[in-house]
Amino acid sequence: MDEKLMRTDAHWREQLTDEEYRITRQKGTERAFTGTYWDEKSKGTYVCASCGQALYDSGTKFDSGTGWPSFWAPVADDAVESLSDRSLGTERVEVRCNRCGAHLGHLFDDGPKPTGMRHCVNSASLKLVKHDEK
């Protein structure tokens, strides 16, 4: 992982779209089945929309039926960080980009093998870098 990336709020507001800013910097969420990548099937690497760090590989993406892109593992253990989230009066696990702190979504323990985990991620927090399909 690259070293931590610290930016001002003004920088993020200028760099990101309104939706990306609302989700990644203000811990928002998009409605189910509305994001760009919930049903994406292309091969590639999903990178952080804020800083470009590689987060998830399409090979770990699966259809969770939830309407959000779901992955059973990040590209590397240190690509994302998990933090306790009690914002809705219940305990959840927030997933953030470990480089810039962007809110990605939440982590659940109802995913497929081999990890049994589901990284439920907002499309607006990601950019897909497609692999060459030759």
Q: How far apart are CA 126 and CA 51, in angstroms?
A: 10
85 located within any domain: yes
1 located within any domain: no
68 located within any domain: yes
95 located within any domain: yes
Per-residue pLDDT tens digits for 69-98: 999 999 999 999 998 877 767 778 999 999
Active-site residue, selected from the candidate residues 48, 51, 97, 120: 120
Q: Is 120 annotated as catalytic? A: yes
* CATH classification at residue 51: 2.170.150.20
Quick one: pLDDT at residue 134?
Answer: 41
Q: How far apart are CA 113 and CA 74, in angstroms?
A: 14
- What is the number of domains present in the chain? 1
Q: How far apart are CA 117 and CA 12, in angstroms?
A: 30
Give residue 66's domain range. 9-130
4 located within any domain: no
Per-residue pLDDT tens digits for 112-125: 999 999 999 999 99
Closest alpha carbon to 37 in 12, 13, 14, 71: 71
